[in-house]
Structure 1
């Protein structure tokens, strides 16, 4: 042991090991001084990583000394690890009286004798070791000097503990940032009141030019350049109660203007690390989902052959128009059935029949009065919805125009075809107050025309009692 007094040495070391930032040179110097003071050949400091492996961080060694650069936690018996975690100081040497665990621990560092202190976290998991060792001599430190040695090593351990804590904190922060950057969700946080951006993950910032474009800026300055204040659609008022305390998460869908991408957005109020109220906005790209939803909606509401809205859409739109017109409006439902359509299929085949239906759908959609209001009810049946300033005279003129077209041939790939149309018309509210009632009345009117030879128009009020001669118009 050095001739320097223990008290003077402890005081000198205490003066060295101060400060909130760990200096590696100071650690190495302190380790060297302690080794020299207690006449140990070498001093080693190990710290664990996140994979339960201890790595050599600092050392002072004599020549020709083997050094263990790293070792795994599992190389120490689990029960002995618990013992080392709870022991204030471990002092051991190779001897007939040494336990098997002590001998294995000595072999781990190629030592004949050693003094070790474990550094532990709040859960008594070992996160580091300070080891003083001899590789040739076996003498032990006198018991009278053990308290001073324990105090010195723990003083050094407390100093190194700052670094261990900072490393763990840095790893936790890096891990969290990595998770936030790779979870497929865009996230940013802004001050709840002044809207300054406090945080944004990489996936959020990438389309806008990186994190430097976000931090220190108002959210709308980044997301909506040229805007001078908070967004009108910002849901902040829905995120706090009357006392200004955070409430529940609010979700909404948003389409990004510069590329048309869709996002499902989640907004919530919470307390930031400094206690201020903050607004976190997270969003998941649902562009593909939106496309799928649109495809499903299209498949459910549009006819695959003619691309016209189908019966489902017809019923929905008709009910919507009825609701809009209730009490003050009038509307018409026109039911078209093709006279002679079966002959097209029989003569030219179903492909020709399909081609004709497509041409017919295009014809109806191309009539200004029917544009956006034509539907395929099924088979060779088409329906149109008309309201607003339309009159019965307008509809009769429309029917005349349609019948004139049917007097001409329809040119198909397999030949020219001739056919005609029977038209039944129901009027709201006289002929019904629901879509199904109007469809039924228009179908009856259409059928009356069909029984009379087709190529005509019949309104609901023109329907005759069963067995009566027909009285509707024919072209």
Structure 2
């Protein structure tokens, strides 16, 4: 009997030693508390996580006492200034196991905490360092438990683990244990799977992969890296597991068990795919962005032979800035989504439509046998984008200008083709919009000239280089001059007199048309006040100016400053304003008429 008792005690010590060794292999911190919240056992990782308080860990010491000392040491920044409230909250979470929460340590690390009750009223605490997860999106690859402990206590630990743990016989490959997390994930009770092979839970190919991994582990004794395996979950959907394996040997050193620790990484992979998608796509329209566009174009150019051409079309929306500035970004965003849909409708399968930024889009047209193919597509785009758009209760007319560059004649690289198509597009805009142009080598010089003109135009308003000329208005019935129409001119210091056709469209493109229009109203009212009584002053309004929230205040201030009677001011608007019979436009018309201004 004494020999048997000594053997039993030795086995117990050995079992406890193996348990401690198994716990110390875990990447998670594990702590066991009794029903009074006193320390029973903890592993090395737990001590490392709480290194600022590890000197306090003693069997029988209450967790509450170590927390208080840790708070006093400043180990928990969340507790600073609210020490008692923080302690109460932390202890209440301990008293209500099963709820995960997070904790920040003084060194900046974040720890995920989960408590589980044991049958004797104590608890098992799990601590996972989730710092990387907090700072880098979905980089979680939670290390799974590698356990080697006595069977009775092993069940308690495993059932408290959130990861799937699966134990198979190293000799027969039959499953011997599946924890609660595994039951929930696979949709099978352990009674249904124990005694069966992997094919009870996995498809034939996946089951064979797992068996081969077991054979390699048993043969070499080395733990391989994580293996990703798919399976059909209890909810009927496909899931992805990250599987890590550990070999447990018996006292004689022979392989006995293979422990598979599994993490469901389905959501992580889906998030990674979403990130990859977002990296190459525009979040507003879902179209490829500039990066993916350039990549696809480069690939196309690398594989195309001389017998087939590729066209790049740059598409810029006309008057989009007016919509965005006057009706707001939500309306502009809705318009861009519809534009993306219409562009996709214009192209063939295999072509690429991308949003490069703002209101600029681009198209890769494959298998272009002759320039006419690209011209047909460009005209189709112009016609589709010229139709009325309906979004957010507004009817909008914008239009588009298209530039075309052909490979290899206009460039053999993605950058060169896109640059040349962009220049052709600016040429189309400068010639009246709503048109397409093919790239021509001399366009580079013209683009440089346009950029110089843009810089001069931005300076002109501040420098006072604009002036008004007045065209008489004849009343044919009475055979007399009834007023005049204000016509803006730009007296450039070196170019001389610049006519409106050379700068009005550019002013609209770069957002100067509204402040320029406000200056015209003020100056025209001031000049009209010096005309004979009854003489009217006509001023043209651009759509952007009419939709500007400053229009009515500008008119009121100009009339007041000049002393001009409101009925002598006549504002001319285009049909496109009337086509959009929005509430905002109607309100502006009523306000102007209420002032006495003629429309």
Alignment-derived partner of residue 341 in structure 1: 320
TM-score w.r.t. structure 2 length? 0.43
Matched, 1:358 2:333: no
Alignment-derived partner of residue 237 in structure 2: 260
Match of 1:246 among 213, 221, 235: 221
* 8 Å Cα contact 2:342-2:384 kept in structure 1: no
The CA deviation at 1:284 is 1.0
Aligned length: 311
The CA deviation at 1:193 is 7.8
Alignment-derived partner of residue 383 in structure 1: 362
Alignment-derived partner of residue 180 in structure 1: 158
Alignment-derived partner of residue 124 in structure 1: none
The CA deviation at 1:382 is 0.9
Render the CA deviation track for 1:220-261: whole Å, top value 9, x for unaligned. 13323xx4x7646558369849x9413442224444334436
Please give the secondary structure, in 2, of the residue aligned with 1:458: strand
* 8 Å Cα contact 1:348-1:414 kept in structure 2: no
* 8 Å Cα contact 1:239-1:268 kept in structure 2: no
Render the CA deviation track for 1:358-400: whole Å, top value 9, x for unaligned. 2211211333526883221111101223335776443322222
* 8 Å Cα contact 1:188-1:201 kept in structure 2: yes
The CA deviation at 1:423 is 1.7
Matched, 1:212 2:191: yes
* 8 Å Cα contact 1:249-1:266 kept in structure 2: no
CA spacing shift, 1:272–1:442, aligned 2, 3 Å:
farther
CA spacing shift, 1:419–1:187, aligned 2, 3 Å:
same
- Cα distance in 1 for partners of 2:344, 2:358 equals 17
- Cα distance in 1 for partners of 2:307, 2:249 equals 56
Residues 435-450 of structure 1 aligned to structure 2 (within 5 Å): 435-450=414-429
- Cα distance in 1 for partners of 2:333, 2:298 equals 29
- Cα distance in 2 for partners of 1:373, 1:364 equals 10
- Cα distance in 2 for partners of 1:411, 1:395 equals 28
The CA deviation at 1:219 is 0.5
- Cα distance in 2 for partners of 1:372, 1:185 equals 45
Render the CA deviation track for 1:120-173: whole Å, top value 9, x for unaligned. xxxxxxxxxxxxxxxxxxxxxxxxxxxxxxxxxxxxxxxxxxxxxxxxxx9943
* 8 Å Cα contact 1:335-1:425 kept in structure 2: yes
Alignment-derived partner of residue 261 in structure 2: 282
- Indicate the structure (1 or 2) with the bigger Cα radius of gyration: 1
- Cα distance in 2 for partners of 1:386, 1:232 equals 46
Alignment-derived partner of residue 80 in structure 2: none
Considering fraction of residues, name the structure with more helix.
2
* 8 Å Cα contact 2:386-2:400 kept in structure 1: no
Render the CA deviation track for 1:74-96: whole Å, top value 9, x for unaligned. 9xxxxxxxxxxxxxxxxxxxxxx
- Cα distance in 1 for partners of 2:382, 2:299 equals 30
- Cα distance in 2 for partners of 1:449, 1:463 equals 15
- Cα distance in 2 for partners of 1:424, 1:330 equals 16
TM-score w.r.t. structure 1 length? 0.53
Alignment-derived partner of residue 281 in structure 2: 302
CA spacing shift, 1:396–1:268, aligned 2, 3 Å:
same
